[in-house]
């Protein structure tokens, strides 16, 4: 089933193309090249370069979403530009936060507090076995679009009255 895909270049210009999940990266690049001069630049989605031209959009998890214009891929730029970071919550659920390499761990904790309500001072973040320190940027830990952090609490939190 066809859906829209946004292609954003370095000048923040947006091109919307119609694609299907089974389209290859090569086909998408050809479609972009037919409309944009600088189409020889690399493509990035969620901080990951779309280097395998034989892979499909589905293989890169570039699928329809609830956003107007569909998912956004970047033409040119760098893998650290911005990406969605999966945050695995103590409850077993997860949220995604849109961050950059310069986002600090403290800023990420603040967003998690706002979104989920876990108190900032009761929260620790881990990337694998490594605890993330508040003043450091995410790039210090090598986190990119395909990464996840585990949210842990330093004590049990009140969840409300028993049902």
Q: What is the pLDDT of residues 23-81, one digit of tens each?
A: 999 999 998 888 876 667 888 887 788 889 999 999 998 988 877 778 888 887 665 56
Query: What is residue 78's predicted lDDT score, i.e. its pLDDT?
Result: 60
> With contact defined as beta carbons under 8 Å apart, do 67 and 16 qualify?
no
Could you give the CA distance from residue 88 to residue 148 in angstroms, rounded to a whole number? 7
CATH architecture for residues 83-153: Roll (3.10)
The residue written with tokens 């998912």 in the block is 71
- The hierarchical CATH code for the domain 3-75 is 3.10.20.90
* CB neighbours of residue 51 within 10 Å: 11
Prediction pTM value? 0.59
Across all residues in the chain, what is the average pLDDT? 85
DSSP H helices in the chain: 25-33, 105-116
Same fold, 3-75 and 83-153: yes
Q: Which two tokens stand for residue 48?
A: 């990951």
Domain ranges of the chain: 3-75, 83-153
């Amino acid at each position: 089933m066809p859906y829209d895909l946004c292609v954003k270049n370095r000048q923040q210009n947006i091109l919307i193309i119609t694609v299907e999940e089974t389209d290859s990266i090569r086909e998408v690049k050809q479609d972009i090249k037919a409309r944009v001069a600088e189409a020889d630049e690399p493509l990035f989605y969620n901080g990951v370069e779309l280097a395998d031209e034989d892979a499909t959009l589905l293989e890169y998890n570039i699928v329809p979403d609830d956003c107007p214009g569909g998912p956004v891929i970047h033409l040119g730029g760098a893998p650290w530009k911005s990406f969605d970071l999966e945050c695995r919550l103590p409850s077993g659920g997860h949220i995604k936060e849109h961050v950059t390499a310069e986002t600090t761990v403290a800023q990420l904790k603040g967003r998690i507090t706002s979104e989920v309500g876990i108190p900032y001072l009761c929260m620790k973040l881990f990337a694998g076995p490594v605890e993330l320190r508040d003043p450091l940027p995410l790039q210090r830990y090598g986190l990119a679009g395909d990464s996840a952090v585990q949210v842990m609490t330093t004590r049990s939190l009140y969840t409300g009255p028993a049902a």
